[in-house]
Amino acid sequence: MAEDAKSNFSKNSKKLFSNTSVNTVLKRMRYKNNCIIKQGWFPETIKNIEATFAFVSIDCDLYEPIYNGLKYFFPRLNKGGYIFVHEYTSSIYKGSREAVKIFLSEEHTAHLFPLTDQGGTGIIKKS
């Protein structure tokens, strides 16, 4: 959240997630028994998981976890795989677009396809 506050990527970033809890999240899940909640900061919460991915959805809203998520998952993404980044075109969560922009400038096998959906999703494909 520090980068979002410093760069003014989102307003009141410290208050945005103050009403979130594991119970609140699980109440919204249809198949609670299939959910594994890893509470904490990404990517520390996913360490020691050795896997590759065909599809990843990142919906963190803030610059740092989105950028860190891209840096973590992209090397583990199968060729031809996709990462969906929620809030990419958001005017509220501007850190999402900045994280994608910086990541794409560093990773030349990543290609962006913005969607015009309600969530402002950016799709990154690995070639």
Q: What is the pLDDT of residues 10-54, one digit of tens each?
A: 665 566 667 778 898 899 999 999 888 888 877 788 877 788 999
Q: pTM of the full predicted structure?
A: 0.81
How do residues 94-112 score in pLDDT, each as one tens digit? 899 999 999 999 999 999 9
Tell me the helix, strand and coil percentages in the chain, rounded to 5: 35, 20, 45
Helix (H, G, I), strand (E, B) or coil at 24: helix
Tell whether domain 2-126 is in CATH 3.40.50.150: yes
Q: Where are the domains of the chain?
A: 2-126
Task: Give the β-pairing of 122-126 and 77-85.
Answer: antiparallel
Q: Which residue's entry shows tokens 């015009």?
A: 116
